[in-house]
Amino acid sequence: MEKRVRLRFAPSPTGGLHMGGVRTALFSYLFAKKHKGDFILRIEDTDQTRYVKGAEEYIIESLKWCGIEPNEGVGFGDGPHAPYRQSERKELGIYKKYADQLIASGHAYVAFDTSEELDAMRKRLEAAKVVAPQYNSVSRQNMRNSLTLSEDDVKKLMDAGTPYVIRLKVPRNEEIRFHDIIRGWVVVNSTQVDDKVLLKSDGMPTYHLAHIVDDIEMEISHAVRGEEWLPSAPSHVLIYRYLGMEDKMPLLAHLPLILKPDGNGKLSKRDKSGIPMFPLDWYDERTGEKYVGYRETGFFPEAFINMLAMLGWNPGTTQELFTLDELIAAFTFERVNKSGAKFDPEKTKWFNQQYLRMKPDAELAELFKPVLKENLSESHYSQLSTHYLQGVCKLVKEKAHFVSEFWEGGKYFFIAPTTFDADVIKKRWNEQSAGFIKEVTEAFKNLNTFTAAETEVTFKATAEKSGIGAGQVMQLFRVCLSGVGGGPMLFEMVELLGKEEVVKRLAFAIETIKN
């Protein structure tokens, strides 16, 4: 019987969820959903010293905003493998059972070394010009552990309550091979692998043991994580082997790094690209730093997810815009790149712009209302019709990246201009063009229907009658109506403003500019 596809996202509640973590969750979600499997949220809180209040709730809220909700796990309902917090699982004795099994089979051992003794060991190795000082098959021979001490000494230390850890016993000079879905076969010599701590002195498991035990118990089929975990993978392969559970080891997929815009190094949460690094606002109480989120900046979750999917993955086509369902259908790990993906702030805004343009005008109008309430008087705001608001959104969204830009890009739709673009006036205003503005104002007064098509025909006919090219006066005409030299489609703007308002604005412009 084929193994059910089950993937987990297992963050530590040590701070805000960085966009790199969201991408790991996204790729896991896409693969699970494509194969009609399960996506699980597990909280890896074994390091209680780094636990941050509110981080777990932030993770849950972020996944909900992104639209990639687990169907099982913390905050999303218990499945058959609850609890899903490692601190709660530790109380059940799950991790100790597996650690004891490794000791019994001779693949793990007890170590009593103090932090001072560990520091002294590192200094000795550094003095001996060892490139990567570590606790391994060589250095452990000179340390205080159950491999160097007699059984009696070990028993005395245990009976006396001496703090100890349990370490993995890595063999000397052995080839460790494993297959990664993205990178293919990886071969590492065990001399490069240290004796990882599996169980800490407080009885808490480290990541190295805990995630393996949980993946076995929760029947995880695929484990997705960042490439920074690649050096630890050989240790994990050994643990599965020594537990006699290699058949239960998930298929591994190590995602490429997300790089800074210049490609120089890993993108960090303190990157100053001007684009958020977190899905939602996050305040770090420990450092006093506040990080702005994609949600609060005005990004749509669909745009954020679409952008994130394209960081390190490609569909094999020129298509760039994908709904979540389309991403699920198209996603494969085989199309995830091995090399790092450069983060592009401008491209990130471009994605939001595309989704903004696709939004219904009615939805955009609702999002725009709070901005209008801030900038208009109550009486002015209350007079705005739904039709007018939606019409403004339809026109201004073409040149905006965010709804928050609608006001700056289109406030003249609500407040008639009192000043006019000086450069355009200097270049375009003369006796002939002033005469044309007067003529077109009169022509507009006589129109019975005031549509974009009708006003454009009238505009061009008046220009021809005045002996002036329509292109020569089009920008000046726009400035007279809006005060600025650029904007949305001109005659659609004229139609929306309406005959009375357009005639009034043109008359005001003629008098003001003349004087």
Over the stretch 220-251, which tens digit does the pLDDT of each residue have?
A: 999 999 999 999 999 999 999 999 999 999 99
| Distance from C-alpha of 390 to C-alpha of 224, rounded to nearest angstrom | 44
Q: Confidence band (pLDDT; 50, 70, 90) for 294? A: very high
Tell me which architecture the domain covering 93-254 has in CATH: Alpha-Beta Complex (3.90)
**What is residue 102's predicted lDDT score, i.e. its pLDDT?**
98
Contact (Cβ atoms closer than 8 angstroms) between residue 231 and residue 201:
no
Q: Give the pLDDT mean for 37-42.
A: 98
Check pLDDT > 90 for residue 289: no
Q: Which two tokens stand for residue 454?
A: 């009708």
Q: Which amino acid is at 451?
A: T
| Distance from C-alpha of 200 to C-alpha of 442, rounded to nearest angstrom | 86
Look-up of token digits 């790729």: 27
| Rounded percentage of the chain residues whose pLDDT exceeds 70 | 100
Concerning whether 269 is annotated as a catalytic residue, the answer is yes
Spans of all domains in the chain:
93-254, 361-410, 416-515
Mean pLDDT across the chain: 95
Give the angle 5-197-25 at the CA atoms, nearest 5°: 30
Residues 6+ apart with CB under 8 A from 63: 9, 25, 41, 69, 70
Pick the CATH number of 416-515 from 3.60.15.10, 1.10.10.350, 1.10.1200.10, 1.10.10.10: 1.10.10.350
Q: Give the pLDDT mean for 360-368.
A: 98
CA atoms within 13 A on the CB side of 440: 34
Q: Give the pLDDT mean for 490-500.
A: 98
Letter string b/e over residues 167-176, b meaning 16 or more CB atoms within 10 A of that residue's CB: bbbbeeeeeb
Contact (Cβ atoms closer than 8 angstroms) between residue 162 and residue 145:
no
Q: Confidence band (pLDDT; 50, 70, 90) for 1? A: low
Catalytic entry in 64, 96, 269, 399 = 269
Give per-residue pLDDT as tens, 171-204: 999 999 999 999 999 999 999 999 999 999 999 9
pTM for the structure as a whole: 0.92
Rg (CA), the chain: 32
Give per-residue pLDDT as tens, 247-267: 999 999 999 999 999 888 899
| Rounded percentage of the chain residues whose pLDDT exceeds 90 | 91
Helix, strand, coil % in the chain, rounded to nearest 5: 50, 10, 35
Among 10, 17, 8, smallest CA distance to 61 is for 17
Q: Which two tokens stand for residue 205?
A: 């498991």
The dihedral region occupied by 498, where left means phi > 0, alpha psi between -120 and 50, and beta the remainder, is left
Q: Give the pLDDT mean for 449-476.
A: 96
| Distance from C-alpha of 403 to C-alpha of 465, rounded to nearest angstrom | 41
Check pLDDT > 70 for residue 123: yes
**What is residue 329's predicted lDDT score, i.e. its pLDDT?**
98
Nearest 10 degrees: Cα torsion 111, 116, 120, 122: 70
